[in-house]
Amino acid sequence: MNINDIAAIAGVSKATVSRVLADSPNVRNSTRERIQKIIRDNNFEPNFLARSLSRRKTFSVGVIVEEMANPFFGSILSMIENVLNDKHYTMSLSSSNWVKEKEFAAVRNMIRNSVDGMIVSPIALKSETISILGKSSIPVLLLNNYTDNPAFSCVTSDNLQGGSLAADHLLSLPSSERQQIIAVTGFKHQTLEERMDGFTRRIKPEVYEEINTYEDGLNLVPTLLTRNSINEIKTCLFITNDNVAMGVQEGLLRHQVNIPGDVRMIGYDNIDFSGR
């Protein structure tokens, strides 16, 4: 079965079928539904290779994140893939693992493969990666970062305000419940830096830096116990990402530290596992 057959069964032109396959809005809903039913009933699969050649499109979107193992990106990647699938696009996925050279190579390869667009969560906004993306003709969306460069669209949250809200919450607690406040942060990244900036504008905590992974969070706990005596002093922890926060949480539970009885924790990202 081909497009001509579908058009004949539906009693429409080949151009109308093509518009339905391309998700064009210029088709009446009743006609669209009739054509889509014929397509489903006959298990018709469009030849996207032929379409891509004729339109000079690859129907592929490149996606690059810092680390695929981070649950924060897991849910985002799933949502991106679902939307792309609905539009008959494929996702070309790569991870930089926080290595700038690897990130640049991934971007360069995707540009060479003529992806139709890119979604990138960059390690830094001043880098070769951003430079090559800005010079390309491919539409680019920066994820979890913000720049006023008109070459890019951006999707992020108000991390400065988020850090400030976390501080306000801890300050609302009785002083007896916050005898010491500790902040834990990781990679030098716009998102984490803004969260810390918002927090430290309101509170001057003791800070642990370069705590980057779940394992780092887990391994930090013995230091918190010996250096900060968090099992003896009412402590509040602000941790700038949930992946690390879950590592700290697991470490505290292993040492039988009560949460929130002995230690109150605020993580950041709202990933699925963080509230369990």
In a domain, 35, yes or no: yes
Please answer whether residues 249 and 259 qualify as being in contact, where contact means their C-beta atoms are separated by less than 8 angstroms: yes
Higher pLDDT, 40 or 209: 209
- Residue at which a domain ends, from 111, 134, 155: 155
Which residue carries 């699938």 as its tokens? 85
Domain count along the chain: 3
Higher pLDDT, 125 or 21: 125
In a domain, 51, yes or no: no
Of all helices (H) and strands (E), which one includes residue 135? helix 128-135
> Of 239, 241, 243, nearest to 264 (Cα)?
239
Residue 48 has pLDDT above 60, yes or no: no
Please answer whether residues 164 and 198 qualify as being in contact, where contact means their C-beta atoms are separated by less than 8 angstroms: yes
In a domain, 129, yes or no: yes
Asked if residue 166 and residue 269 are part of one domain, the reply reads yes
Q: What is the mean pLDDT of residues 241-255?
A: 95
Q: What are phi and psi of 153, to 5 degrees?
A: -95, 150
In a domain, 250, yes or no: yes
pTM of the predicted model, to two decimals?
Answer: 0.74
Each residue's pLDDT tens digit, 208-225: 999 999 999 999 999 999
**Amino acid letter, 250:** E
Asked if residue 214 and residue 116 are part of one domain, the reply reads no
Each residue's pLDDT tens digit, 170-206: 999 999 999 999 999 998 899 999 999 999 999 999 9
- Residue at which a domain ends, from 120, 155, 190: 155
In a domain, 68, yes or no: yes
pLDDT on residue 50: 52
Asked if residue 19 and residue 103 are part of one domain, the reply reads no
- CATH number of the domain that 40 lies in? 1.10.260.40
Q: What is the mean pLDDT of residues 264-271?
A: 92
Instruction: Using CA atoms of 235, 240, 246, 252 in order, give the dihedral in degrees to the nearest 10.
Output: -20
pLDDT on residue 53: 47
Which residue carries 């050279």 as its tokens? 101
Asked if residue 174 and residue 149 are part of one domain, the reply reads no
In a domain, 89, yes or no: yes
pLDDT on residue 250: 96
Asked if residue 80 and residue 110 are part of one domain, the reply reads yes
Residue 141 has pLDDT above 90, yes or no: yes
Residue 98 has pLDDT above 50, yes or no: yes
Q: What is the mean pLDDT of the chain?
A: 91
pLDDT on residue 57: 80
- CATH number of the domain that 149 lies in? 3.40.50.2300
Higher pLDDT, 68 or 1: 68
Asked if residue 270 and residue 164 are part of one domain, the reply reads yes
Q: How far apart are the first and last CA of the chain?
A: 51
> Of 206, 203, 201, 214, nearest to 269 (Cα)?
214
Tokens of 39: 């397509």
Each residue's pLDDT tens digit, 109-121: 999 888 999 999 9
In whole angstroms, give the CA distance from residue 224 to residue 252: 9
Containing structural domain, residue 10: 3-46
Asked if residue 166 and residue 259 are part of one domain, the reply reads yes
